[in-house]
Structure 1
């Protein structure tokens, strides 16, 4: 199951369309934990969305979420877009990352995103030294919910934020959430899965198929 975000066009147009399409789908109640406020609404620029409030920073510090650390590449294949670290930390230029890598695009109010987090975390714990996992909270006006949901499900891999939809129109376009991509060692970006994954084995099998490796 996926939460549809919309089609692909120019970055600004896509972002506006996606947010509008999502407005009717983002009414999930934050009951059971979550930052108060509308999860989705009017499109906002990245500067208008605080992805590292004091509350978020405190929650991240008390968790086992890993710090955001830039890679060593000058152009590893991902777009040269600097994204802030979800919950505070070092902003990172995605182009500094090298494959193999798993990149998961998610939102805090997306049910299938939350359901697949344990599978991604389990893969990260088992194979993260060979194929690291990162998360990107995309086009989310309430990133505190995304961080809280991830922490509550035991996520420890680094997470970034793209509240302004900077990735839209590029190789990491979010046509739906969750969407997961892989970055190969040669710098090629491939779609891994649209929709939630249910187990570590499923993630492993898909990664092996897409990257042509054996874990």
Structure 2
């Protein structure tokens, strides 16, 4: 009985040691409803650098998307409409899951096809998609002027839903 107990304790201690070694040492910064949106820095399609914190004081419609995504294709024209209508009050920031694209030319062709003029950020290493725990595309985060996430939508967002956010 003592041997079984000793073996059990040994297995527990080894398991705990392994878990503590592989677990992250820093607290995870998750993008949760009601919390401050985690800042990030990405390169844009036009070669500039964009930080989410650049838009503090404005509402931000943060959209994660890919060129192969059907619902993304459907909502992009509405996002452009919102950008043109509310551009001074609502920032549209589209983060492309570049790690899954064939190449940057595919993204450029998509932007040209839909005549998009809002900023397109490139998540080449998938860091921001991971930081925001994006599990499906499109995923959208509505962020208020104080940088707080007020709504999260997985799947396509209608023009009416975008406009409600813009008018809040």
TM-score bin (small chain): 0.5 to 0.7
Verify the 8 A CA contact 2:123 2:129 in the aligned structure 1. Answer: no
**Unaligned 5+ runs, structure 2:** 1-23, 25-35
**What is the root-mean-square deviation in Å for CA atoms of aligned residues?**
2.1
Aligned to 2:107: 146
Counterpart selection for 2:142 from 155, 176, 182:
182
| Structure 1 equivalent of residue 30 of structure 2 | none
Closer, same or farther: CA 191–174 of 1 in aligned 2, 3 Å:
farther
Deviation at 1:106, TM superposition (A): 0.5
Structure 1 residues 176 and 186: alpha-carbon distance in aligned structure 2, compared to 1, 3 A threshold: same
Give the SS at the match of 2:126: coil
- Give the helix-richer structure, 1 or 2: 2
CA 1:190–1:146: 2 relative to 1, 3 Å:
farther
Alignment partners' CA distance in 1, 2:101 and 2:115: 22
In 1, Cα distance between the equivalents of 2:82 and 2:152? 14
Which structure has the bigger radius of gyration? 2
Quickly say closer, same or farther: Cα 1:85–1:192, change in 2 above 3 A: same
Shift of 1:169: 4.0
Q: Which residue of 1 aligns with 2:74?
A: 115
> What TM-score comes out, normalization by structure 1 length?
0.54
Aligned length: 131
Query: 111-120 or 144-153: which moved more?
Result: 144-153
Q: Structure 1 residues 116 and 201 mapped into 2: Cα distance closer, same or farther (>3 Å)?
A: same
Q: Is the 8 A contact 1:81 1:166 kept in 2?
A: no
TM-score with structure 2 setting the length: 0.68
Q: Is the 8 A contact 2:43 2:122 kept in 1?
A: yes
Q: CA deviation at 1:163?
A: 1.9
**Residues 106 and 179, structure 1, Cα contact 8 Å, conserved in 2:** yes
